[in-house]
């Protein structure tokens, strides 16, 4: 079964590299440069695992996790960020993150972290464990010692000292799977005991922003006008050909708020923004392959259709047509 993975990252180069990796191993459900766009699509996209940066323009990654988990607690968040302070790491975990990866992590580590999350595990490196321990000591160590069991505290401390899962298992005479279960329990216990605290730390402006993007209802007449405008834009200005097209940019072109555009796309086109853009791109690719096949390579068609990645093009093409570009060419020859 394909795993739906979403990316929220404001640096284009990092987001593009992560997109390529996800495309090659999972189903890329969405990719956003800010938390507001992510939240606007959240009710309409089947997210399973979300890679969330912390430092974003507008709402922070931590605020986005808190707001999203309130309504969709089943979504698993992996914080994907640079080397952070002890307090920020701890706040991210308390907000609802079930995994934490540094941007220096290898591709193999990123892929494995997704599989771990789906298996009900929570990836935690020794560096992150050390930061959690320090943050707990700096806040209310007595409370946190009561929150975690003696065995959980023991495992957390061993992780913070650099021991690997297998080494901890051998020292404590337990299985590696048991170690993983304890680590997942640490995440969950810190979150359960911090839900109210985390929500209270979000300012009223951010709460209202989240509420608007997650719960707003669009009038049918506004939805119809927005729908017509989007169709017009797609036919005339072709925003799907822009390399950095986002739902915020489409909303700006259409002259409607992001949450209106998002809801309109879902209800009128019966899909999310990401799939809509890919649909228009693949329709153009099909036209190019049918009428100009002698003038284009498959890679050239991908580029002319608005795709910056050959892998993304192949995946979108197969999703829409049920075959690869080469199979399509052979079939229509």
pLDDT in tens, 238-272: 999 987 899 999 999 999 999 899 999 999 999 99
128: left (phi over 0), alpha (psi -120 to 50) or beta: alpha
In a 3-state reduction of DSSP, which class is residue 242? coil
Do 31 and 180 fall within a single domain?
yes
Overall domain count for the chain: 3
CA dist 164 → 109, 112, 126, 129, 137 (Å): 14, 16, 8, 11, 22
Do 148 and 15 fall within a single domain?
yes
Task: State in Å, rounded, how far the first CA of the chain is from the last one.
Answer: 33
pTM: 0.80
Supply the pLDDT for residue 200.
61
Phi, psi of 49 (to 5 degrees): -130, 130
pLDDT per position in the chain (333 positions), as tens?
Answer: 589 999 999 998 899 899 999 988 999 999 999 999 999 999 888 889 999 999 999 899 999 998 898 889 899 999 998 866 777 887 888 888 888 888 888 999 999 999 988 988 877 777 777 777 777 767 666 555 667 888 988 988 888 888 888 999 999 999 999 998 888 888 778 765 555 555 565 666 777 777 777 777 889 999 999 999 999 999 999 999 987 899 999 999 999 999 899 999 999 999 999 999 999 999 999 999 888 666 678 888 999 999 988 888 998 999 899 999 988 888 876
Residue 191 resides in a domain: yes
In a 3-state reduction of DSSP, which class is residue 89? helix
Residue 230 resides in a domain: yes
DSSP 74: T
Do 258 and 296 fall within a single domain?
no
Do 25 and 105 fall within a single domain?
yes
Assess contact for 58 and 36: CB atoms under 8 A: yes
Give the domain CATH number at 13: 3.40.50.2300
Interval 226-245: pLDDT, tens: 999 999 999 999 999 987 89
Do 55 and 94 fall within a single domain?
yes
Residue 72 resides in a domain: yes
Do 86 and 115 fall within a single domain?
yes
Query: What's the CA gap between 213 and 188, in Å, rounded?
Result: 26
Do 167 and 261 fall within a single domain?
no
Q: Which domain holds residue 116?
A: 4-200
Do 60 and 32 fall within a single domain?
yes
């Amino acid at each position: 079964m394909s795993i739906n993975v979403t990316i929220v990252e404001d640096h284009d180069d990092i987001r593009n590299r992560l997109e390529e990796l996800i495309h090659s191993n999972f189903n890329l459900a969405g990719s956003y440069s800010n938390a507001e766009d992510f939240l606007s699509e959240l009710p309409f996209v089947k997210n399973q695992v979300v890679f969330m940066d912390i430092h974003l323009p507008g709402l922070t990654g931590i605020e986005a996790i808190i707001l999203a988990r309130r309504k969709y607690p089943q979504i698993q968040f992996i914080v994907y960020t640079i080397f952070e302070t002890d307090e920020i790491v701890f706040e991210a975990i308390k907000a609802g993150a079930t995994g934490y990866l540094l941007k220096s992590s290898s591709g193999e580590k990123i892929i494995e972290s997704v599989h771990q999350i789906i298996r009900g595990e929570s990836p935690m490196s020794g560096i992150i464990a050390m930061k959690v321990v320090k943050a707990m000591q700096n806040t209310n160590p007595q409370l946190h010692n009561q929150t975690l069991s003696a065995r959980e505290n023991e495992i957390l401390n061993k992780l913070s000292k650099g021991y690997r899962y297998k080494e901890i298992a051998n020292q404590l005479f337990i299985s590696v799977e048991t170690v993983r279960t304890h680590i997942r329990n640490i995440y969950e216990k810190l979150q359960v005991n911090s839900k109210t605290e985390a929500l209270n730390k979000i300012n009223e402006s951010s709460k209202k922003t989240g509420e608007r993007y997650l719960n707003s209802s669009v009038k049918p007449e506004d939805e119809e006008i927005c729908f017509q405008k989007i169709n017009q834009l797609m036919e005339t200005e072709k925003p799907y050909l822009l390399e950095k097209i986002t739902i915020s940019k489409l909303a700006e072109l259409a002259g409607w708020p992001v949450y209106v555009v998002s809801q309109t796309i879902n209800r009128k086109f019966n899909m999310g923004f990401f799939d809509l853009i890919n649909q228009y791109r693949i329709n153009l690719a099909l036209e190019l392959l049918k009428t100009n096949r002698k003038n284009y390579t498959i890679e050239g068609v991908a580029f002319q259709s608005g795709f910056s990645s050959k892998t993304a093009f192949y995946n979108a093409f197969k999703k829409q047509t049920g075959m690869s570009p080469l199979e399509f060419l052979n079939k229509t020859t």
